[in-house]
A and B are shown apart, each in its own frame.
Chain A
Amino acid sequence: MSSISLLNTAREGLSSHQTAINLTGSNITNVNTPGYTRQVAVFSSLGCVNVGAGQVQLGVEIEKIERVYDKFVGVQISDKMHDLGYSEAKKGILEKVEIIFNESEGNGISELLDKFWSSWEDLSANPSGIVERDALVSAAQNLASIFRSSSAELVSVQNDANTEIAGLIDQANIYMSDLADLNMEIGAIKTGKGDANDLIDKRDEVLKGLAEIFDFQHLEDSNGAINVFLPNGMPLVIGDRIWELDVEANPANSSFYDIVFKDDSATVLNDTVTKGKVAGFLEIRDNKIASYLNDLNSLAASIIAEVNVRHQLGYDMDQNLGGVFFEPATEAENMWVSSDISEDVNRIAASETVNGDGDNAKFIGAFKDEFFMNGGTSTFNDYYASFVGKVGQDLADEERGLDHHTNLMNQLINKREGISGVSIDEEMTNLVKYQLGYNAAARLCNVADELIDTLLNLVQ
């Protein structure tokens, strides 16, 4: 065992500890970097050599720089991201729908419907009164107008969801292309036997962003690349190759988007994604809002039909049989008071006989208590009240779901932080530890130097 080798050992020690200190420094400065996994230097002994009867320790080296992470937590987070994105998307859109039907302050469809029936009652009390007729026309026009505007606003929210989908697909394409690039770089470094730790961190972030958009399966292949597949198995990213997504107009409804592959626009992918923001927007656009529109149209169509039928049995001020009161329509967006009646209120058929008895108006006024909806079991107002309740319930459900998923996500993130996050306390103590090692190694250098000196000075 020579002094030179001692010097060597000291040198190994110095450089190892230097590396370790650098690493600690990098951990400390990255304490706030999102998605950063801390790295630790793994010291390992260089072993020893047999020299004659004894052994010589060779020193220390940094075997590798290890990235401390738990793969399974990563997968769990990715899955949770799908659920989170789904709930978030749905909640956002449903909040907009709730605003349209927020009846808590009054002045909504419910109140205008009440006023409409009231006006008929007032008319029955004074069938020839012009004031009452004008009031009725005005109430009817307000009712028709709010049906139209509610319908239009629902459609506009639907279009919002639609636009979001297009934006998200573009975003997804960017993520996928980033993923492919990173795959390539990481593969190159790995074949070169290097560590691609920070690139892997970046890739994890990209994957998390993609997970929010739609759900997918992913696995790591032998080259260290992450391959991403749609839930039905179709590939999106394999190695550095991607299959881009695109949106195209739905043949049945040209203002709505379908999701397709850019290269294969025949296959519609809407049903293959079941979670993530895209699926959330699709679900709201195609199912929820479509059903709300249906309910609203159903209510409007029924009111129009029933009032018209009865109105046409009565007589107006000129002894004519009543015409239509509302323009015949089956959808809320087409609800208008008949222009004949708006122009000439005498045409309101308030009476059941040619003498002005007001009984027809009385009959129509009593419609508010008739069971016209739900196959003869609900009144108009009850139907609307339960519709508003449904909107509220749907939103409340989504809010609860979002809360739940957010809590779970927070827990998972904390768990990941617990494993991979930087703790300043720990790094500081490590710094002290490595500095001590460094100092000790430096001292060893000194001692080795003195030994050599002494040896050299032996022979004068």
Chain B
Amino acid sequence: MAIRVSENMKFNTMVNNLFRVQDSYNEFMENMATQKKINRPSDDPIGMGRVLSLRKSKASVEQYSRNIDNCNSWIEITESKLYSVGELLMDAKEIAIAQSTATASAETRSISAVAVQQIIDEMLSLANAKYGDRYLFSGTMMDEAPFSSSYTDNSRIGNFIAAGDNTFDGDVTAGGTYAGVPYVVRIVTGGDLGEATYEVSDDGGNTWGPSSTVPASGTISLPGGLDLTFHNNGTNQLAAGDTFSLHTVEAAEDNTFDGDVNAGGSYTGSQNKTFVVKIVDSGSFADATYRVSSDGGKTWGGLESDLDTGTITLGDGIGLTFTAGTTDLTADDIFYVNAFTPGYYNGNSEEFSINIGRDTSFDYSISGESIFTENAGGSVDIFKILNDLKDSLEADDPDGIAAQLDSIEEASVQVNENIARCGTRMNRLEIAENNMADLKYNLTRLISNTEDADIAEIATRLAMKEIALKASYAMASEMGSLTILDFLK
């Protein structure tokens, strides 16, 4: 059966086919230009989803590599400092061996004492080294240098510090607002208020000013508008060697509570800790409730409401006394107190950590407490040993000197252990780094497979489409030229 063919049919069919060929052609052109198979989500929805997931994984991997690099730098520097510490200990050991024999004399010993002091100073600067803005060996406490040059006999409680926008604004035992150098007040001769004498250091305890008498009122005034008030409400008098250090007191800008807060008591804990008090319900002392944290604010104890008297106990012998001002305590006010054990160390035992893989946190810093003190895994207090050595040398005491030899040996072992720790950590990081490099390569390959166009294939297809297009154009030009009109007279 013959089908009627009208003019419109012929032209419609030809035009539609032309469009179809051109559409394919354009598609291949685009793929060539962008070198990608997937130029928009509708080209391949599943592929696009997969590409996005892969890209995210790749970005993760790159980030982890960066983190690993950061760790590596930190650990390398830590290791090199520790090597130097080890060498200093060797020097101290040689001195100790030499000076403990009978061939040494009081003179040699006192000269050696000076040498040991230099070793101590050198070690102090190593222990207080920084990487960027952070101390290498201070745990996570960044307020002050981790090691002080002098031994603090008594456990010490830092002044409370109120968080930046507490609305409770208090004066500390130290009156006034001050920001800057940590003042240290040391009792020279003990006694009652009015009799005891003290001296002040304005550089954290390295150098001391002249001594003066503590007035009977108990208030010492310090430069910069600070004053320190000793309240005679304990049983003990001020004793020689008692040291009080004042930390930076932030007068919180948004604080509205303007009463006093005193930290008091004596710290009975075995490690340096940061106690934090968080106000939960606002109100007057009778109404307010609070919680206490002994690990710097991470975990909290139960809800307490015994603020009525204004004095609360934080644990381990520390108390905090609030004196009301004009504004009440408000929820989320934060107060924290650093508590220190006797010794040279002012940091804590926390370690910095960072993510080096999915669900993989890596501790990369080693706290000074583990390295230089007998707590947190260590066995000897290195600074104490060196200072004892120096004292023995100055006192011309060969037995005392000999007694330090074993301790110095133990100290060397302690330092070496920590150097080994650095080594194992770096090994682990290297493995992680290699993993990351592998992953990155594989991810890049997967992304490319899904998304990139195979140029050779596209070029061939393009050539084929071009031929089809040319054929269509040739047909189109023929279309109009063959009609019956040419044959009718």
Contacts and interface: CB of A to CB of B under 8 A. Distances in A.
Interface string B119-159: 00000000000001110000111110000000000000000
A242 interface: no
Contact of B40 (A98, A117, A417): A98
Interface string A311-350: 0000111111100000000000000000000000010000
Given A98-B42, A362-B353, A423-B5, A388 B142 contact: no
A interface secondary structure, majority: helix
B59 A118 contact: yes
Interface stretch (A120-128, A215-223, A269-277, A447-455): A120-128
B348 A355 contact: yes
B41 A128 contact: no
B55 A121 contact: no
Contacts of B163: 315, 318-321, 354
A113 to B, nearest CB: 8
B41 A101 contact: yes
Interface residues of A, number: 73
B3 A432 contact: no
Given A319-B163, A319-B334, A320-B334, A355 B139 contact: yes
A129 interface: yes
Given A121-B67, A357-B140, A417 B8 contact: yes
Interface stretch (B9-17, B200-208, B257-265): B9-17
B278 interface: yes
A383 to B, nearest CB: 11
Interface in A413-441: 413-414, 417-419, 421-426, 428-429, 432
A298 interface: no
B132 A129 contact: yes
A3 interface: no
A113 B274 CA distance: 35
Most chain B beta-carbon contacts within 10 A, residue among A103, A353, A425: A353
B300 to A, nearest CB: 10
A118 to B, nearest CB: 5
Contact of B354 (A102, A121, A423): A121
Nearest to A119: B63
A392 interface: yes
A126 B133 contact: yes
A408 interface: no
Contacts of A320: 163-166, 332, 334
A109 to B, nearest CB: 9
Contact of B359 (A32, A106, A317, A366): A366
A368 B274 CA distance: 31
Contacts of B41: 98, 101-104, 388-389, 391-393, 395
B298 A353 contact: yes
A358 interface: yes
Contact of A419 (B4, B56, B133, B250): B4
Contacts of A382: 53
A396 B42 contact: yes
Nearest to A106: B55
Interface in B224-259: 250, 252
Most chain B beta-carbon contacts within 10 A, residue among A102, A114, A388, A429: A114
A369 B9 contact: no
A316 B52 contact: no
B276 A114 contact: no
Nearest to B131: A126
Nearest to A101: B41
Contacts of A115: 59
B268 interface: no
Nearest to A312: B332
A114 to B, nearest CB: 4
Nearest to B70: A125
A110 B52 contact: yes
Contact of A128 (B43, B142, B276): B142
B140 A356 contact: yes
Contacts of A13: none
A103 B44 CA distance: 12
A190 interface: no
Given A355-B296, A389-B49, A390-B45, A410 B16 contact: yes
Contacts of A31: 7-8
Nearest to B58: A114
A212 B276 CA distance: 72
A389 B7 contact: no
4 closest residue pairs by CB, A with B: A318-B164, A392-B41, A421-B6, A353-B296
14 contacts: A31-B7, A102-B40, A104-B48, A318-B250, A320-B163, A320-B166, A362-B355, A369-B60, A385-B49, A389-B41, A392-B42, A414-B9, A418-B3, A424-B483
Given A104-B48, A125-B66, A128-B133, 19 more contacts: A31-B7, A114-B55, A114-B56, A122-B63, A122-B66, A128-B134, A319-B250, A356-B140, A357-B350, A368-B60, A385-B50, A388-B48, A389-B45, A413-B12, A418-B9, A419-B4, A422-B7, A423-B7, A428-B484
